[in-house]
């Protein structure tokens, strides 16, 4: 490997949403920093099997709200 072109690879702590902490190596932050996760496998519906959040203001919902009443009329 060339010297001086790679980021520093060091130990950090990762704090899950339930409070558990584990150590891993990363290029994030500095040696000994703690990365607090907002979403992780213990809380995200994709991993827990819970109900997914629906987007009320998604692109399809916006389209249907704007053009939902239009129909194709044949004379």
Instruction: Say whether pLDDT at 70 is over 80.
Output: no
3-62 pLDDT tens trace: 889 899 999 999 999 999 999 999 999 999 999 999 888 887 777 776 655 556 778 888
Query: In the prediction, which pLDDT does 53 show?
Result: 57
Q: Is 17:43 a contact under the CB 8 Å cutoff?
A: yes
Please state the φ and ψ torsions of residue 47, each to the nearest 5 degrees. -100, -30
Spell out the residues 6+ positions from residue 38 whose beta carbon is closer than 8 angstroms to its own.
17
Q: pTM (2 decimals)?
A: 0.56
Euclidean distance between CA atoms 63 and 67, whole angstroms: 6
The pLDDT confidence band at residue 63, using thresholds 50, 70 and 90, is: confident
Q: In this structure, are residues 24 and 46 in contact, taking their beta carbons and an 8 Å threshold?
A: no
Q: 15: which strand partners? A: 21, 36
């Amino acid at each position: 490997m060339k010297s001086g072109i790679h980021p520093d690879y060091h130990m950090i702590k990762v704090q899950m949403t339930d409070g558990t902490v584990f150590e891993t190596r990363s290029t994030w932050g500095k040696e000994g920093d703690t990365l607090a996760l907002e979403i992780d496998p213990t809380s995200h519906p994709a991993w827990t099997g819970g109900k997914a959040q629906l987007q009320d203001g998604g692109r399809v919902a916006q389209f249907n709200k704007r053009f939902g009443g239009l129909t194709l009329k044949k004379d």
